[in-house]
Amino acid sequence: METLGNSQILGILSCAFCLPLVVSSEEVTIPAELKSAVARVVVNTTSCSVTCGLGFKLEEMCEITPAGERRNCTLLRSDCLTTWVCGMLHFTIPVGKPFQFSCLTWDTAGFGSQAYSYTWRFAHGLVTTKDVLFKRFPNPSSVLRFSPIREADAGTYRCDVQMWKTFRIIKRIYIGVRVIPKDLVDLDFQKSLTWEQKLAANKEEGNTESSTYEEVQEQQRFWQTQSFYGCLVGVGIGVAGVVLVSMALWFLWKILRRAAKKLPEI
């Protein structure tokens, strides 16, 4: 019985080794239609235009002949989506200023934007990403507009972009808005810099160009002002010194005169 089982195993193995030889010995014929067929494939593509949410990419489509030749190449624009969570953006706006923000980028908004729906939610007075704190905010469009903005408008706005057909969320972004009084702080940082700070900032940025006419005039006015105040301080110190010395000499003369009167005559 054992000998019979071994012989059966050897027979199966021999058939397995012989089968590829039988198949490979047969000739494979390719139909004439396939030999002259031309395939249209993507030969090159760009990266997505955005890192989150809906973007677009450019694809180069070419016809590939059986000989490997490329012909009739065209560029096509197609949608792309890497991740739908875009995090939070922060804005600090003075009271009374206009403000607007769009869920979609300008290139996506102009490329079939009516195929999407927008859902807005608002967390009043808080800068947060906790979804339980948000309440529905009536704004059907992709753009959030305030003209002008008020202190009551401060908080976090959440925008969800969905496909009309599938209701699939393709983008979620949080917009944190801080509203401050107009006179609280001057937001023009460059305006508050001195000439030396501006020069140092230009050196750090690698800007070695010569100063503009306005900067030169500002520098001259700065040093003229410093010289004028220096002269005033010098004159003031000089006059005060003369007055103090004169008063000291006068008091010394009075003391010596009194002492001379009290001395006995010899």
pLDDT, residue 205, reads 56
Structure confidence by residue, pLDDT tens digits, 167-190? 889 999 999 999 998 776 555 666
59 DSSP β-pair partners: 45, 76
Q: How far is CA 215 from the centre of its chain?
A: 30
Break the chain into its structural domains and give their ranges: 37-81, 85-180
Name the pLDDT band for 103 (thresholds 50, 70, 90).
Answer: confident
Name the pLDDT band for 255 (thresholds 50, 70, 90).
Answer: confident
Structure confidence by residue, pLDDT tens digits, 13-53? 444 444 444 444 456 676 666 666 778 888 899 998 888 88
* Cα–Cα dist 60/102, whole Å: 30
pLDDT, residue 115, reads 79
Q: Provide the 3-class DSSP secondary structure of residue 255.
A: helix
| pTM for this predicted structure | 0.53
Query: Does the pLDDT value for residue 266 go beyond 60?
Result: no
Closest by Cα among 161, 162, 117, 157 to 140:
117
What tokens does 244 get? 């103090």
Query: Does the pLDDT value for residue 119 go beyond 60?
Result: yes
Indicate the range of 80-84, 92-96, 115-119, 224-228 predicted with least confidence.
Answer: 224-228
Query: Does the pLDDT value for residue 253 go beyond 80?
Result: no
Query: Does the pLDDT value for residue 146 go beyond 90?
Result: yes
Q: At what angle do helices 195-204 and 213-262 cross, to 10 degrees?
A: 140
Query: Does the pLDDT value for residue 120 go beyond 90?
Result: yes
For the domain 85-180, what is the CATH superfamily, name and number? Immunoglobulins (2.60.40.10)
Q: What is the CA radius of gyration of the chain?
A: 42
Number of CB atoms found within 10 A of residue 226's CB: 10
Query: Does the pLDDT value for residue 93 go beyond 60?
Result: yes
Average pLDDT, integer, range 80-92: 91
Query: Does the pLDDT value for residue 96 go beyond 60?
Result: yes
- Judge contact between 52 and 104, C-beta under 8 A: no
Query: Does the pLDDT value for residue 143 go beyond 60?
Result: yes
- First-to-last alpha carbon distance for the chain, in angstroms, is 165
pLDDT, residue 237, reads 62
* Cα–Cα dist 53/79, whole Å: 10
Closest by Cα among 218, 169, 159 to 190:
218
Query: Does the pLDDT value for residue 112 go beyond 60?
Result: no
